[in-house]
Amino acid sequence: MMLKVGVALVLLVVLLSALAPFIAPYDPTKRAGGPLSPPGPTHFFGTDNLGRDVFSRVLYGGQVIIGISLLATLFSAAAGFTLGMFSGYVGGRVDRGLNMVMDSMYAFPSLILAIAIASVLGPSPLNAALAIGVVYVPTYFRMARNETMVVKSSLFVEAAVALGAPRWRIVFRHILPNLVPSLVVVATINIADAALTESALAFFGYTVTPPTPDWGLDLSSARSYIVNGSWWLLTPGAFIVITALGFSLLGEGLGEKMGKKETF
Amino acid sequence: MSLLRYVALRAALAVPTLLILLTVVFFVLRVIPGNPIVAMVGMKAPPEYVEQLIKEAGLDKPLHEQYLDYLAQVFTGNLGRSLIFGKRDVAAEIMDRLPATAELAVAAFLVSIALGHVFGFLAARYGGKIDLTARVYAMVTYVLFIPFIGLALQLVFSVWLGIFPVAGRVTPGLEPPRITGLYLLDSLLSGRLNSFADALWHLALPSFTLGLVLSGVFVRLIRNNMVKTLGEDFVSAYRAMGFPERNVLWKAYRVAIVPTVTMMGLQLALLLQGAVLTETTFSWPGLGTLLLERIQYLDYTTVQGTVVVFVLIVVFMNVAVDVINALLDPRVRRGL
């Protein structure tokens, strides 16, 4: 059930934004009608203060948030997973030190760190993806480290060591495959967090520059028109929620299926 | 181990965490941009002025000296002077804003605990459809993007219904005299009930927004711990002895709540970053808005000071949560 709803929501958002050039009735950055006209047959979601079509902006804005979130997740998964597996495998002092650094970072509010990083790097989609990617490294590190330590002490690894298998073979043939299911679950749920952080950075103006559409950025532009442009405010925000909900349902649904997470 | 010894040991263990986080902040704000003042002000100011700012902030020294200066600054509580607005003391600016964030965070925390208890308890007690509803509630509230839900609540309750104010902490003119900086407390201490009502009225929407978004985590925590405890032998024993269900639930609750305290402490990061978003959404004059507005004004020292204060809050609160836990559960003290 969760999995199905998750798949449906993710497909909806991904397809709408991927097919934006074909579906969007207007150019998202150009005037398409009167300013602040309410939703109607010509503008499904109304227009913004500059007369741009909100529906077209929502479609194109999806490309930005999904692109940045996926890139960020890829980055943090690659870095965190590798480090975690390494740390869990070698153990000892190196492991204790790395673990302490990651635990400290994990305790710190990720958004505040992302704001700090984004503010020194300057606003751009790539920088935003980097900032988001860095703050979620500890999430993958913890998962990979803990699971590596469990798998490392299992009998089949001991057997491989006894048979004289080289280290790289133990890591890549015996440990890594056992971590993949967890990685998929954690990464899918993490896309939801990355999307929320992306929206926050966009809301503060650290992702794209106007007139490029981005849901978080559009939400912050719409704030000043809360009294006479509520439709403009509600649609990009609702899509942020739908996207994040879709990915977290998908992740939890997958986790349940693989027996990786406790129910509820 | 005595409680005092536990507190001392726990505090000592927090030192590495503190140093690690301070180093991360130093790295992010100083090493990545090379020279932060050039990075922030460089393009927009005459070179002599930039050079003067660099000297004032001590950024002309080699990096390792800067690092030691920075640590010394943090441990002496002197965070330097702001680069704008008559160069106010950064620590003083932060102290002006800290109570607003504290008030919002505490109120939101209480809201989320209350919501978490209601839904978590009902889910554990009745199961089935109610359990499923609570689960959906937990998942949906977690992904509510704070500016979105905050602005939606503003739209409904402030713009359409006119029940709550749109933004701010208090109606201008009704500020209570500053004692602690917490408006609710100050207005009570000075006996100004109209200020108290006004501050509470302003706090309602922001704290509900933040509390709602955090509550999903608490629903899960309380529900899972209650379900686990209700399945234990002592509960069956109480039931078999014929205690009324109400008493049995209360006894189970008292056992179930202890492990959730540590878990609640782990939500501090969520609470703080949620507060940053809530403050910007409701123009709440706290640390989050301070951080973001000073980034806009390129006020490098205040930006660094604010992030450092967030580090200090996180480290301090983590110790505090463990100490509370040790008070509640003596076994924790032995475990260290």
Cβ–Cβ below 8 Å for A216 and B147: yes
Q: Which residues of B touch A106 (CB under 8 A)?
A: 269
Find the mean pLDDT for residues A194-203: 96
* Stated pTM of the model: 0.92
Instruction: Work out the minimum CA distance from A95 to partner chain B, whole angstroms.
Output: 15
- Return the closest-CA partner of residue A199 out of A6, A13, A48, A5: A13
Are the C-beta atoms of B304 and B25 separated by less than 8 Å? yes
Q: What are phi and psi of A53, to 5 degrees?
A: -75, 115
What are A's interface residues with B at a Cβ cutoff of 8 A?
100-101, 103-113, 115-117, 119-121, 192, 196, 199-200, 203-204, 216, 219-220, 223, 226-227, 230, 233-234, 237-238, 240-241, 244-245, 248-249, 252, 262, 264
- Return the closest-CA partner of residue A215 out of A71, A9, A69: A69
Q: Three-class SS of residue B89? A: strand
Question: Rounded CA gap, B165 and A104, in Å?
Answer: 38
Cβ–Cβ below 8 Å for A200 and B145: yes
* Residue at token pair 């990979």: A144
Judge if the upstream peptide bond of residue B47 is cis by omega within 30 degrees of 0: no
Instruction: Work out the minimum CA distance from B336 to partner chain A, whole angstroms.
Output: 16
pLDDT, position A226: 87
Instruction: Work out the minimum CA distance from A218 to partner chain B, whole angstroms.
Output: 11
What are the pLDDT tens digits along chain B (336 aa)? 688 888 898 899 899 999 999 999 998 888 777 677 776 665 667 777 778 877 777 777 888 888 898 899 889 888 888 877 677 888 999 999 999 999 999 999 999 999 999 999 999 989 889 998 998 999 999 999 999 999 999 999 998 998 898 888 888 888 888 888 888 888 888 888 888 888 999 999 999 999 999 999 999 999 999 999 999 999 999 999 999 988 999 999 988 888 888 777 778 899 999 999 999 999 999 999 999 998 888 788 889 999 999 999 999 998 998 888 888 877 777 765
Q: Give the one of A120, A227, A262 whose C-beta lies nearest to B33's C-beta.
A: A120
Q: What value does the mean pLDDT of chain A take?
A: 90
* Residue at token pair 């509470």: B200
Question: Rounded CA gap, B109 and B103, in Å?
Answer: 10
Q: Which of A98, A105, A120 is most worth mutating to test chain B (most B CB atoms within 10 A of its CB)?
A: A120
Q: Give the one of B17, B28, B143 whose C-beta lies nearest to A196's C-beta.
A: B143
pLDDT, position B145: 95
Q: Give the one of A112, A120, A219 whose C-beta lies nearest to B276's C-beta.
A: A112
Based on its alpha-carbon atoms, the radius of gyration of chain B, rounded to whole angstroms, reads 24
By mean pLDDT, which of A90-99, A135-144, B20-29, B296-305 is the weakest? Answer: B296-305
Cβ neighbour number for residue A244 with a 10 Å cutoff: 28
Cβ–Cβ below 8 Å for A120 and B220: no
Q: What are phi and psi of B89, to 5 degrees?
A: -65, 125
Assigned token pair, B109: 């925390």
Assigned token pair, A68: 């940045």
Q: Which residues of A touch B280 (CB under 8 A)?
A: 203-204
User: Which residue is closest to B127 within chain A, CA to CA?
Assistant: A264
- Taking the CA atoms of residue A248, residue A252, residue A253 and residue A258 in that order, the dihedral angle to the nearest 10 degrees is 150
Q: Which residues of A touch B143 (CB under 8 A)?
A: 192, 196, 241, 244-245, 248
Q: What are phi and psi of A110, to 5 degrees?
A: -65, -35
Instruction: Work out the minimum CA distance from A196 to partner chain B, whole angstroms.
Output: 6
Cβ–Cβ below 8 Å for A120 and B32: yes
DSSP 8-state assignment for residue A53: B
Are the C-beta atoms of A203 and A123 separated by less than 8 Å? no
Q: Give the one of B140, B146, B307 whose C-beta lies nearest to A245's C-beta.
A: B140
Question: Rounded CA gap, A97 and A86, in Å?
Answer: 13
Cβ–Cβ below 8 Å for B159 and A264: no
Cβ neighbour number for residue A194 with a 10 Å cutoff: 31
Q: What is the DSSP string of B265-319?
A: HHTHHHHHHHHHHHHHHTT--SHHHHHHHHHHTT-HHHHHHHHHHHHHHHHHHHH
Task: Return the bridge partners of A53, or none.
Answer: A47
Are the C-beta atoms of B127 and B230 separated by less than 8 Å? no
pLDDT, position A261: 56
Are the C-beta atoms of A71 and A129 separated by less than 8 Å? yes
Q: Which residues of A touch B154 (CB under 8 A)?
A: 226
Q: Which residues of B touch A111 (CB under 8 A)?
A: 273, 276-277
pLDDT, position B282: 93
pLDDT, position A256: 86
Q: Which residues of A touch B270 (CB under 8 A)?
A: 109
CA angle A50, A51, A52 (to 5 degrees): 95
DSSP 8-state assignment for residue B176: P
- Return the closest-CA partner of residue A218 out of A83, A86, A45: A45
Q: What are phi and psi of A166, to 5 degrees?
A: -70, 160
